[in-house]
Amino acid sequence: MEMLSAIDLGIAGNGHVYRNLPVPELVEKALARGEGKLTDTGALAIITGKYTGRSPKDKFIVDTPAVHDEIHWGKINVPISKDRFDAIRAKMLAYLQNRELFVFDGFAGADPSVTQRFRIVNEFASQNLFMHQLLIRPTEEQLKDFTPDYTMICAPGFQCVPEIDGVHSECAILLDLEAREVLIAGNQYSGEMKKSVFTVMNYILPKMGILPLHCSANMGKDGSTAVFLGLSGTGKTTLSADPARSLIGDDEHGWTKDGVFNMEGGCYAKCIDLKRESEPEIYDAIRFGAMLENVVIDDQDHPHYEDGSLTENTRAGYPIEFIDNAVIPGVGGNPSTVVFLTADAFGVLPPISRLNRNAAAYYYVSGYTSKLAGTERGITEPVTTFSSMFGEPFFPMRPSLYAEMFVRKLEETGAQVFLVNTGWCGGHAGDVPRMKLRYTRAMVEAAISGELNDVEYERDPIFGVDIPKSCPNVPDEILDPRNLWKDKAAYEASAKKLAREFVANMEEKEPELPEAIKAAGPKA
């Protein structure tokens, strides 16, 4: 394999560069450097410090003439000048002089026709292990002539100075889409690296006529494919890791004319309250080669998944091969079922409902959920949010562009769309327990298998969705949230309050939405 030096990476000094170390050596390096400890199952457990979730207010995109008109600038896609980027880059490279560096060369995109090559340069061995397991791992033959399309440099120990560097804190996530570089400074949370790759892909793929999706995907024995769109914490990883179906991927996919493909080669699962009885595939994947973030480990090296004292956003990263029934490579056919996942803290959305084409477009553009504790810095209890495409922070172009592509895919494939509430039903979050996972699994299974195609439905007068009157292995009385609210007036008030928020969000974000789509949404 071709050797790399610090000079090859544009870094002065004589620090040693370890390129594409195998997993055991990366783990050994991380332990020797005091970056973490091994659990009793062999996973590497690390603590990420101040940042235990993404920090979206610290993310910037370099504003150059080549990309200016393509980016949907605003509160999410915040511009930074090329001069500022270059200045921070120079200081970061100076900081990395004479340090040990860890390089992983990997792929994003399991469809060979669209695969992008990423070179990841890390200050920490543990973070390099994470990206080794989360991206697609090239063969030795593929590494012989590896030339990166994009380069990411991650230096958690380098801290920006806001008043000098023109950023908001010591942390900065900077994407230069024209120069094909990503810088991550002052932040050890591994999700920033993963989502930066996703953001880059969400810029590239539409130019190829491919729809990027923030979703998990799985496949039945008959080849039927299902995708699950949702924000972090809504159940993408949990619901797609189904022992009866093969896992294509748990978070990021592209949808071509022929089907879907995984952008990644690994999974990044939330593991707060993880139990083997309810999620055996994920539980058993946390072994040697996996990495745990911010999970409390006791003196006997045993992880306590129920302990959220460091953060509710405890995470496990592992290669997709650790899931026994994973699809390798991660490619499937056109989805027959699309599932929107939301965690409704108001407790008024049905546990499952079917959407017609216009309603599907409305809820896709809305991207409603309640952000769950820990997925972003500062979020300690559920907060109502609308995130277009169920992942707005990662989509750099206009929501209407992705929405038009999504509707076209539904029309071309005839896929059925369901909205599944994995949150609360029958009362507000905190007043009632969250929807039981076994019921959610049963509803999703019925939707994917076609068992909900011929049952009787009733249109919800407030939200415009169709609620099934029956579902196999689910009590009929929980299917309509009105039945679960003891105080019917309180239900009406909560439902109409949420409907008003839907309408206000749409008027602000997409005022030019076609009338037929607006009419299919909630009625305030």
Does the active-site annotation cover 82? no
What integer pLDDT is reported at residue 332 of this predicted model? 97
What integer pLDDT is reported at residue 373 of this predicted model? 56
Does the active-site annotation cover 251? yes
**Nearest C-alpha neighbor of 362 from the set 335, 397, 386:** 386
What integer pLDDT is reported at residue 372 of this predicted model? 57
Does the active-site annotation cover 54? yes
Q: Which residue in 59, 132, 194, 236 is the catalytic one? A: 236
What integer pLDDT is reported at residue 14 of this predicted model? 79
Q: Which residue in 54, 119, 132, 253 is the catalytic one? A: 54
What integer pLDDT is reported at residue 1 of this predicted model? 47
Does the active-site annotation cover 207? no
What integer pLDDT is reported at residue 408 of this predicted model? 94
Q: Which residue in 84, 119, 214, 253 is the catalytic one? A: 214
**Nearest C-alpha neighbor of 352 from the set 431, 263, 446:** 446
Q: Which residue in 52, 225, 232, 342 is the catalytic one? A: 232
Does the active-site annotation cover 225? no
Q: Cα–Cα distance between 144 and 205 in angstroms, integer?
A: 26
Half-sphere exposure of 148 (CA within 13 A, CB side): 19
CATH topology of domain 7-33+56-208: Phosphoenolpyruvate Carboxykinase; domain 1 (3.40.449)
Q: Which residues of 111-142 are buried (b: 16+ CB within 10 A; e: fewer)?
A: beebbbbbbbbbbbbbbbbbbbbbbbbbeeee
Q: Model's pTM, two decimal places?
A: 0.92
What integer pLDDT is reported at residue 377 of this predicted model? 64
What integer pLDDT is reported at residue 11 of this predicted model? 84
What are 159-204's pLDDT values in tens digits?
A: 999 999 999 999 999 999 999 999 999 999 999 999 999 999 999 9
- Name the residue ranges covered by the structural domains of the chain: 7-33+56-208, 35-54+268-324+334-443+453-524
Does the active-site annotation cover 357? no
Instruction: Give yes or no on whether 7-33+56-208 and 35-54+268-324+334-443+453-524 have one common fold.
Output: no
Using DSSP's 3-state secondary structure scheme, residue 80 falls into: strand
Which CATH architecture best describes the domain 35-54+268-324+334-443+453-524? Answer: Alpha-Beta Complex (3.90)
Q: Which residue in 29, 89, 195, 409 is the catalytic one? A: 195
Phi, psi for residue 259 in degrees, rounded to 5: 155, -160
Residue 389 falls in which region: left (phi positive, over 0), alpha (psi -120 to 50) or beta = left
**Low-confidence stretches of the chain (pLDDT beneath 50):** 1
